[in-house]
Chains A and B, each alone.
Chain A
Amino acid sequence: MSDIVDARGLSCPQPVLLAMSKMKEKTSGEIEVIIDNEVSRENVSRAARSQGWEILDTQRKGDDYHLILKR
């Protein structure tokens, strides 16, 4: 099972929904969420924190953001 969520090109609220369903599935460990805009980065980060996950790292790769979530 992949721990990568690719939400590039998807609009609100889908990146958050995809990330949340992965967080519910895994309950702990690390998840990488790939998004391609600042709004999704803010939204996914906010949702992750509200679920008790921390943002371990935010990497900018070209046009994309790779968020590493950890709990």
Chain B
Amino acid sequence: MEVERTRNLFATGMGIIAVGIIIGVLASLLQKLGNPGNMGICVACFDRDITGAVGMHRAEVVQYLRPEILGFVLGSLAAALLFGEFKPRGGSAPLARFVLGMTAMIGALVFLGCPWRTLLRLAGGDGNALFGLAGLAVGVWGGTLFFKQGYSLGRSSKQSAGTGLLMPLLIAGLLVLRFMFAPVEGQAQSGVLFYSLKGPGAAYAPVALSLGIGLLVGFLAQRSRFCTMGALRDLILFRQWHLFSGFLALLAAAWLTNLVVGQFHPGFEKQPVAHTHALWNFAGMLVAGLSFALAGGCPGRQLFMSGEGDADAGVFVLGMITGAAFAHNFGLASSPAGIGPHGIAAVVVSLFFCLVIGLSNIERARA
């Protein structure tokens, strides 16, 4: 028993708390270094920015190929290879996972943040995030009800090394593009990549720092299995505090760092990249939370798993990218001005798809 505990220190109680603290501090510092307000790291927002950078949506204020996201996948790949945990696998309801990726992203963009950013917004004093956090918790709770009824997307099976490496290779390709076509002062395009000249997409930390922190977080999160959705799920389903302690550590560390560097501004109005519609902050995150729960991981965790060779997680990530494209092309995403023109419809339709997937995958007779 002791042997297995010392084998992976990061998966211990102290390990997950340490990783939460590291992520919280680094995310807060990334804001200081140039990332958008209360958005040191936001997996949903940054996936969305990448979607814009490659021109899959043309919302001019949110286009940047975020190196943090690329680092997450490659850092996780490195950890998985180093510790013998790179396991190519896939084939567990890929289309359902793709659609859940879309609904997760659409819900997150109605709120304006993933679970990580929910915590970072709270840590920055944004009271609106309380409604997002409540929605997230209710959505994850809804997901646990499905699991209690026997919900399962089925077993994955072993895949070829090439299949397991596809996501990391795609990510490496994007990284090459980022260096080939670096941003040019005052230009909205550099080679094939689009860049924002104003708005959150124009706010970013130096590329080497963003990438380095992304790699470190990817490495640590792979070792510790850090997952914000799992934190809530395990607490609700098993009364288990393990992952939740990392969740709280991230919140506390980001809050304290914000206090130190002067980034804590409590209130509801005029919060960075946020709106004040309580109901839609709640409902957007409810849809996202349910989607993450049904797919088995928060968007960060899906990136880390895709780095470990999990092709199903890779499909979820590509679903998120597609969801981001629809969210901005169809006016589903919110902005600081309020919810998008079709944001309410998007929440309803996304919830419908989650329920179809949830209800149709309940297996009564299981092993």
The answer on A and B forming one complex is yes
**Cβ–Cβ contact B158 & A11, under 8 A:** no
Chain A residue at minimal CB-CB distance from B1: A55
Q: Does A59 contact B (CB under 8 A)?
A: no
B303: min CB distance to chain A, Å = 15
Which A30-48 residues have a C-beta within 8 angstroms of B? 36-39, 41-42, 45-47
Q: Does B367 contact A (CB under 8 A)?
A: yes
CB neighbours of B225 from chain A (8 A): 39, 42
**Cβ–Cβ contact A47 & B240, under 8 A:** yes
Q: Does B114 contact A (CB under 8 A)?
A: no
Known contacts: A8-B155, A20-B238, A63-B158. The answer to whether A13 contacts B92 by CB under 8 A is no
Chain A residue at minimal CB-CB distance from B242: A46
Chain B residue at minimal CB-CB distance from A49: B1
Which B237-285 residues have a C-beta within 8 angstroms of A? 237-238, 240, 242
**Cβ–Cβ contact B233 & A9, under 8 A:** no
A17 to B363, CA, bound (A): 14
From A36, A39, A50, A54, B240 is in contact (CB under 8 Å) with: A50
A44 to B157, CA, bound (A): 20
Residue picked from A5, A14, A16, most chain B C-beta under 10 Å: A14
**Cβ–Cβ contact B238 & A16, under 8 A:** yes
Q: Does B353 contact A (CB under 8 A)?
A: no
From B156, B158, B367, A6 is in contact (CB under 8 Å) with: B367
**Cβ–Cβ contact A9 & B155, under 8 A:** yes
A39 to B158, CA, bound (A): 16
Report the contact-size class of chain B (Cβ under 8 Å from the partner). Answer: 20 to 34
The secondary structure that dominates the B interface is loop
B224: min CB distance to chain A, Å = 10
**Cβ–Cβ contact A38 & B85, under 8 A:** yes
Q: Does B147 contact A (CB under 8 A)?
A: yes
Chain B residue at minimal CB-CB distance from A56: B1
A8 to B158, CA, bound (A): 10
Since A14-B152, A37-B87, A47-B240 are in contact, a sample of 20 more A-B pairs with Cβ atoms closer than 8 Å, ordered by chain A residue number, is: A5-B367, A6-B367, A8-B155, A9-B92, A9-B157, A10-B155, A11-B92, A11-B297, A12-B296, A12-B297, A17-B147, A17-B148, A17-B237, A18-B366, A18-B367, A38-B8, A39-B225, A41-B4, A46-B240, A50-B238
Chain A residue at minimal CB-CB distance from B367: A6
10 contacts across the A-B interface (CB closer than 8 A): A10-B152, A10-B156, A11-B153, A13-B233, A16-B238, A17-B148, A20-B238, A45-B4, A46-B242, A55-B4
A4 to B312, CA, bound (A): 27
A34: min CB distance to chain B, Å = 10
A55: min CB distance to chain B, Å = 6
B123: min CB distance to chain A, Å = 26
A4 to B344, CA, bound (A): 47
B15: min CB distance to chain A, Å = 11
A9 to B156, CA, bound (A): 5
From A5, A6, A13, A14, B234 is in contact (CB under 8 Å) with: A13
Known contacts: A5-B367, A18-B366, A47-B238. The answer to whether A13 contacts B85 by CB under 8 A is no
Which B126-160 residues have a C-beta within 8 angstroms of A? 147-148, 152-158
From B1, B89, B366, A9 is in contact (CB under 8 Å) with: B89
